[in-house]
Amino acid sequence: MLIPKADRKKIHEYLFREGVLVAKKDFNLPKHGDIDTKNLFVIKALQSLDSRGYVKTRFSWQYYYYTLTPEGLDYLREWLHLPAEIVPQTHIKQQRTHAPPRGMLGGDDRERRGGGRGGRGDRDGYRRRDAGEKGEGGAPGDFKPEFRGGFGRGRGGAAPSS
């Protein structure tokens, strides 16, 4: 499909900047949500990049999800005439504030701080037998379940008489 060079450049710049792109499967949509161009141009340009192995395509719930591959990164860097120092947002690691991992706090710290849920916490209600209550939950001893034909396909006929 013939796509104007200005529109193709917008699509490639956005894909390189973000590293990923999402497009709704609506070929008649007048404008893409993130890029100022027709949605059809976006889908077809990325379909072309996908056929050359520069992006990976996932399709789910009427949306195309495109992810830039390392080969696509090199191709777009050359096509857009960008230096090697510039990388997509998905390749930049975010700096985290240094906080000690939870395991380094020690075993008794929770009791000293007053945190936690006590001995058993919220699970007490589910585990009645552990608390010593016998016979309150569950079926009585003389309970005999009776299985009859259900509804639908597995209903079957009358019980076989022998």
pLDDT in tens, 45-66: 999 999 999 999 999 999 999 9
When the pLDDT of each residue in the chain is averaged and rounded to a whole number, the result is 79
Phi-psi region of 50 (alpha: psi -120 to 50; beta: other; left: phi over 0): alpha
DSSP type of residue 64:
E
Rounded Cα gap, residues 118 and 121, in angstroms? 6
For residue 89, give the nearest of 64, 68, 72, 65 by alpha carbon: 68
Say which CATH class 5-82 falls into: mainly alpha
Confidence of residue 146 (pLDDT cuts 50, 70, 90): confident
More confident residue, 108 or 73: 73
Give the domain ranges of the chain.
5-82
This model's pTM is above 0.85: no
